[in-house]
Amino acid sequence: MKVWKYGDNINTDMLFPGKYTYTCSVAEEIKPHLLEDLDPSFSSNVQSGDLIFAGKNFGCGSSREQPVIGLKAVGIQAVVAESFARIFYRAAINQGLLLIECAEAVEAYQKDETVDLDLMNGKITIGPKTYTFPKLPKEILAIREVGGLLPYTREKLKKKGCK
Amino acid sequence: MNEGVYWRGERHMGATFAEKLLAKYGKQDSVEPGQIVTVQPDHLLTHDNTAAIIQKIESELQTYGICDPSFSLIVLDHVIPAASEKTATNHLRIREFVKEFGIQHFYDVGEGVCHQLVVEKGHATPGSLLVGSDSHTCSYGAVGAFATGIDRTEAASLLLTGETWLKVPVSIQMRLKEKLSKGVTPKDIILSIIGDISASGATYCSVEFHGDVQQFTIEDRFTIANMGVEMGAKNAVFPADEVTEKYLKTLGLKNKMDTSCNPDPDACYDQIITYDISDMEPVVACPHTVDNVKPVQEVTSIEIQQCLLGTCTNGRLSDLHQAASLLKGKTIHPSVRFLVIPASRSVYLDAVEQGVIDILSKAGAVILPPGCGPCLGAHQGVLAPGERCLSTANRNFKGRMGCKEAEIYLASPLTVAASALTGHITDPREMI
C-alpha cells in the first residue's frame, strides 16, 4: 500500500482536467486522466488499497464527479485530508469513496510510515500513533451502507412502487 | 480588513437566512447548524452534463419516469455549438430526453449561460431553494434564493425523486460598508474578500451579505454571489430587499417578492466580518488559485495574449458597458485576442441595440455565442503553452483553459478592457 501525498487546495481541474468533462464519464474513460495535471505518474502507478493524504480544501472547484468515480475505481482506500470542499465531499458520499477529515494525521504522516485504518471505530494509526476522526451521521451511513446514492434511491423507489 | 469576529454565543435567539429557509423546506419549526433535513427543492438545474446524468438512470427513467416535468431546468451552454461528434451526440440525447419526458424548462444552444438564464427567466426567486449540478449554482443568492451545487449522481437521483438531504450550515455575515471608489467594481470586492479569507475561508458555510448593499444592482450581486463557492461557501446570499423587489417587477414577478426567510437581527453567526469597501482597489487573482489576489498595480508588467470578457461571473449588460466605456473609438493591442461572450441572448440583443457590440467589435473583439465559451477549456479559445489570459471568469486553476502550461489571471471587466488595449495587465483607473 502506497500513500500519495499532496498539498493544499487540490482542485477538480488538477484531479481531472475540465477539457475531458463532456467526453469522459465512465470509470474506464476517466482512469487514464486521473490527476493528469497534478501528478502524471499517478494513473499508471496507483494500486488498489493505496491512500491519498492531502492538506486543506481537497476537491475544491467544479461540481465534477469524475475524479471521485476514478479514485474509487482504481481502488483508493480513502482520502485523508485536513479539509474537503463540500461538493466533492458530497460526491464521495454518493459514490461510496471514503473521505477522512483528520488534520493531525495529515500533519503527522512522514514518508514511508505504515498507515492502518479502522473504520468501525473511527481510528487511523500512523507509525506508533493513533488518531480519531468523527463517525458519519446516520443519514449518510445509510447511503454508504447500500453502496452509494443510486442504489439507495433505487431501494427508495422500489418501496414507493411504480407511479 | 477583518474588523471583528463574534463567536457563537447564548444571547443569540434569532435565525439566519439558511436556518429559516432550511426549516421551511425541511418542514421543521426551527433547525440548528449541523442538523440534516430532507428537502424538496423548487428546481434542479443541469446543463450539458444532463446526458451523463440520464445515462446513469436509463432503466429507472423507463420504470418510474421523472418526478415532475416542471422541476428540471436544462440549459445547453458548456460546449455550444457542439465541438465534436461526442458533444453533439450528448446534445442530441438531451433533446430526445426533453421531448420524451415533457421537460418544461429547456434552453437550447445559444440561449445563454445556465446561471444567467435561471435568474433572467425568473426560476430563482427570494426564499426559494434550488440545487444544480454545477458549482456556480450559488449565483442565485443574488436574488435572495438558497442555491447550492451538487454532483451528477445526486442530480440523477433528484430527477427521479425530487428529494435530497441538506445539512444546515453555520453562517457568516459579511458587512460591506461605504462606497466603492471610481474604477473599482463588485468583482474587485469578491476577489478581495477571497484573497482575505482564502479559498477555504467559508467552507461549508452560508455567507450572507449585509451593510450598504442597496448600492448594488442584481447584476453586481450576481458577480459577488457567483464566486461564493470560490471561498468554499455552501451558498451566498443577498437577503431580499427593495433592489430585489424592483428587479422582480422588471421580470413581471412582483408577487414573488418574499422576505420571510430574511435573517433575524439577533441571528447567530459563526463570524461577522466587516469590509470598508471604499478602501478597496482593482485587484487580480494570479495563477493558479483564486485566493492568490494582488493589487493590480503590483502586476502591471505582466504581458497577456488573450482577454476574456464574459461567463456567468461577468457577462451581463453592465459588464459589457463598462468594457465599452474604455474601448470606444480605440483598438486593442495587436498581440491580444479579445474574446467577448454575452451571458444570454437577451443580454446580446440589448448590447446590440445599445451599440455596445458595435464598439467592442470595432475595437477588435471576437464576439462568441452566449454560453460558457473557453472558461472550462473545452473549446473557443484554448490557450497554448506559455500563454497568459486575463479573464473576467471565476477560476484560474492550472489547466482550466485547456493547457496546463498556460496562466490565467482573473479581474474585473474594467481591468480586462484596459489591459486589452495595452497588451499587459493595466490599472483601469489610468484610463477613466
Residue B405 sits in a domain whose CATH number is 3.30.499.10
| B429 within 8 A of B326, measured Cβ to Cβ | no
Beta carbons within 10 angstroms of residue A162's beta carbon: 8
Measured at the alpha carbon of residue B342, what is the angle toward residues B338 and B344, in degrees to the nearest 5?
Answer: 160
**Does B292 contact A at CB distance below 8 Å?**
no
Q: Are B77 and B114 in contact (CB under 8 A)?
A: yes
What value does the mean pLDDT take over residues A63-81? 96
Residue B80 placed within a domain: yes
Do B165 and A139 lie within an 8 Å CB cutoff? yes
- Structure confidence at residue A160 (pLDDT): 81
Q: For B108-212, where are the E strands, in sequence order?
A: 129-132, 146-149, 164-167, 171-177, 206-211
Distance from CA of B192 to the nearest CA of A (A): 18
Reported ipTM: 0.91
Q: Which residues in chain B are closer than 8 Å to A14, comparing Cβ atoms?
A: 397-399
Instruction: Give a yes or no: residue B390 inside a domain.
Output: yes
Chain A hits for B165, CB-CB cut-off 8 Å, are: 139
Confidence of residue A25 (pLDDT cuts 50, 70, 90): confident
Whole-angstrom distance, CA of residue B45 vs CA of residue B381? 26
Q: Of A22-26, A51-55, B219-223, where does mean pLDDT reach its minimum?
A: A22-26
CB contact B153 to A (< 8 Å):
yes
- Residue B176 bridge partners (DSSP): B211, B275
Q: Are residues B150 and B275 in the same domain?
A: no
B95 with B122, same domain: the answer is yes
* Angle of CA points B245, B248, B254, to nearest 5°: 80
Which of A60, A90, A140 shows the shortest C-beta gap to B199? A60
Task: Classify residue B254 by burial, with Cβ atoms within 10 Å: 0-12, 13-18, 19+.
Answer: exposed
Three-state DSSP class for A54? strand
Of the residues B258, B279, B300, the one at which a domain ends: B279
Do B291 and B418 lie in a common domain?
Answer: yes
Please indicate, yes or no, whether residues B244 and B362 belong to a single structural domain of this protein.
no
Tell me whether residue B5 is in a domain. no
Q: What pLDDT score was predicted for residue A119?
A: 81
Q: How many domains does chain B have?
A: 3
> Is B432 among the domain residues?
no
**Same-domain pairing of B415 and B301:** yes
Residue B338, in any domain of the structure: yes
Average pLDDT over residues A114-142: 90
By Cβ distance, the residue of B36, B161, B378 closest to A153 is B161
- Residue B84 shares a structural domain with residue B126: yes
Predicted local distance difference test score (pLDDT) of residue B2: 44
Classify the phi-psi angles of A115: left when phi > 0, otherwise alpha if psi is within -120 to 50, otherwise beta: beta
B65 neighbourhood in chain A, CB within 8 Å: 163
The answer, yes or no, to whether residue B5 has pLDDT greater than 90, is: no
Which CATH number is B272's domain given? 3.40.1060.10
Evaluate if residue A34 carries a pLDDT over 50: yes
Q: Is B65 on the interface with A (CB under 8 A)?
A: yes
Domain end among B137, B161, B185: B161
**All 3 cell numbers of residue B115?**
446561471
Helix (H, G, I), strand (E, B) or coil at B132: strand
Over residues B379-410, the pLDDT tens digits come to 999 999 999 999 999 999 999 999 999 999 99
Task: Say whether both B360 and B252 belong to one domain.
Answer: no
B237 with B275, same domain: the answer is yes
Q: Does the residue B401 lie in any domain?
A: yes
Residue at B8 is within a domain = no
Reported as a pLDDT band with limits 50, 70 and 90, residue B9 is: very low
> What mean pLDDT do residues B197-202 have?
97
* Whole-number pLDDT of residue A135: 82
Q: What is the pLDDT of residue B11?
A: 43
Cell of B174: 459579511
Helix extents (H) in B124-241: 152-161, 186-197, 218-226
pLDDT reported for residue A75: 97
Are B182 and B295 in a shared domain? no
Contact A63 B150 (CB under 8 A): yes
Residue among A61, A64, A162 minimizing CB distance to B63: A162
**B107 with B208, same domain?**
no
B27 and B132 in a common domain = yes
Q: Which residue has the higher pLDDT, B111 or B3?
A: B111
Average pLDDT over residues A137-147: 90
In A, which residues are within 8 Å of B138 by CB distance?
Answer: none
A-B Cβ pairs (cutoff 8 Å, strict): 136
Asked if B1 reaches chain A (Cβ–Cβ under 8 Å), the answer is no
Shortest distance, CA A80 to any CA of chain B (angstroms): 17
B21: β partners:
none
Which of B279, B305, B325 finishes a domain? B279
Helices (H), B199-340: 218-226, 242-250, 311-314, 317-327
Strand, helix or coil for residue B412 = coil
Q: Indicate if B358 and B378 belong to the same structural domain.
A: yes
CB B103 within 8 A of CB B15: no
Residue whose cell numbers read 468533462: A21
Task: Give me the mean pLDDT over the B28-53 stretch.
Answer: 97
Residues in A touching B36 (Cβ below 8 Å): 137, 139-140
The rounded percent of chain B whose pLDDT value lies above 90 is 97
Q: Nearest 5°: CA angle at B389, between B385 and B392?
A: 150
Q: At A77, which amino acid appears?
A: Q
Domains present along chain A, CATH in parentheses: 3-133 (3.20.19.10)
Q: B151 and chain A: CB distance < 8 Å anywhere?
A: yes
Domain contains B350: yes
- Which residues, in sequence order, are CB contacts of B58 under 8 Å at separation 6+? none
Q: For residue A60, list chain B residues with Cβ-Cβ distance below 8 A.
A: 199-200, 232
Enclosing domain of residue B249: 168-279
Give the per-residue pLDDT at B8. 47
Report the chain B residue with the minimal C-alpha distance to residue A38.
B398
CA nearest neighbour of A140 among B21, B79, B154, B232: B154
Q: Please, what is the average pLDDT of chain B?
A: 96
Express each pLDDT in B85-141 by its tens digit.
Answer: 999 999 999 999 999 999 999 999 999 999 999 999 999 999 999 999 999 999 999
